[in-house]
Structure 1
């Protein structure tokens, strides 16, 4: 029981802290990610400009110049792996929190979900213990805490400089309980749409990274 409680507390600690998103600020256009918090440690990855990732400010030693970060293992948070991120460290001077970016103003950019009531007809719904929903159509269920979703996403309509950007269904088929409350930031020609969604218990954070011709990244993570 003690071991189980320790594991649960560890998971909850991480889930509470990853609700912080950033990009890098580096004149080189990329930053080294190191295994340990020092400049001599092994380089395990590189982050490029306008790539979003989580960072952990709460457990970072503020007397040091390095900060813990968590990089999604693929650009769209698709697939299943444990853990779903690569953990490492970058120098604090290279960190640019998402909320520090310029807010998007004007009519050059628009983002809108097309939402409807969840329709279970002809859906393959997997349950644990015959009760708790674990997957719908073979995909994880973002936005609920094991219950049947109430709201599904039927489409996402994005327009940049008068040009429609098509978002493939694979990128929103696992998202539920979405709403239209989000923040939009801009860095150069890149747009970032950040929001929280939930049914009241199954909260998750999502960041859409978009440019005129494509969806660059989708960052999705759950919190408690």
Structure 2
């Protein structure tokens, strides 16, 4: 029993620690290394504000995954060179009913709506050697499933900041399946007018993390990361 409790505590710690953050260094950038040993092992440089997904602390270091120039990369940086997304002004999940989650904080409101996945409205591609295993949907990589047909997908994300309405474009929601609305979160960087909306989603096997970035009242981009 003690071993089981210890194992669950370790899992819970890693889960809580793993999240999105932004590079925040007094030098304006941080060096990425391929190990936690100081030496000739710098592999990349990331500017302040660059979003990473970080996990597995090792002393003063954290392991990060990130996307740059279309490539998925990994490395180590000092953990005090990261600012947690959740350190900004957080929105509260006010309701989660009928497939709609609402988050609010003062003049900022975010509505996230899911809908039933209708396979007839999509192009499904299965693996050649495994006809029951789904490979792509609408010729895109899929998130949230592990070879099965999705049951749910995002329908819309509607935002209001200081009475200015912002709707995320359809491309921001494509190929993201099995949303877990009660995991929906949002944080607002007031100094730079940047809203981050993020969530941990899964059908039980195909877990992933997603973050959308809305800067100066305009949708900028999204980043996906596979869950742990």
Match of 1:86 in 2: 73
Aligned partners of 2:18 and 2:56 also within 8 Å: no
- RMSD of Structure 2 on Structure 1 (CA): 2.8
| 1:75-115 Cα shifts (integer Å, max 9, x gaps) | xxxx7xxxx52222222321223333342362322222332
Runs of 5+ unmatched residues, structure 1: 1-15
Length-normalised TM-score, structure 1: 0.74
Aligned partners of 1:133 and 1:147 also within 8 Å: yes
Deviation at 1:40, TM superposition (A): 4.9
1:26-175 equivalences under 5 Å are 26-37=25-36, 40-41=39-40, 43-58=42-57, 60=58, 62=59, 65-74=60-69, 85-104=72-91, 106-128=105-127, 129-175=130-176
Aligned partners of 1:70 and 1:87 also within 8 Å: yes
Q: May I ask how many residue pairs the two structures share in their alignment?
A: 198
Aligned partners of 2:62 and 2:78 also within 8 Å: yes
Higher relative contact order (CA 8 A, sep 6+): 1
Deviation at 1:23, TM superposition (A): 1.5
SS of corresponding position for 1:130: strand
Deviation at 1:138, TM superposition (A): 0.5
| 1:95-137 Cα shifts (integer Å, max 9, x gaps) | 2233333423623222223322111124210112110111110
CA distance in 1, matches of 2:145, 2:17: 18
SS of corresponding position for 1:57: strand
Match of 1:185 in 2: 187
Length-normalised TM-score, structure 2: 0.73
Q: Relative to structure 1, is the Cα distance of residues 161 and 137 closer, same or farther in structure 2, using a 3 angstrom cutoff?
A: same
Deviation at 1:175, TM superposition (A): 0.8
Match of 1:220 in 2: 224
Aligned partners of 2:112 and 2:156 also within 8 Å: yes
Match of 1:23 in 2: 22
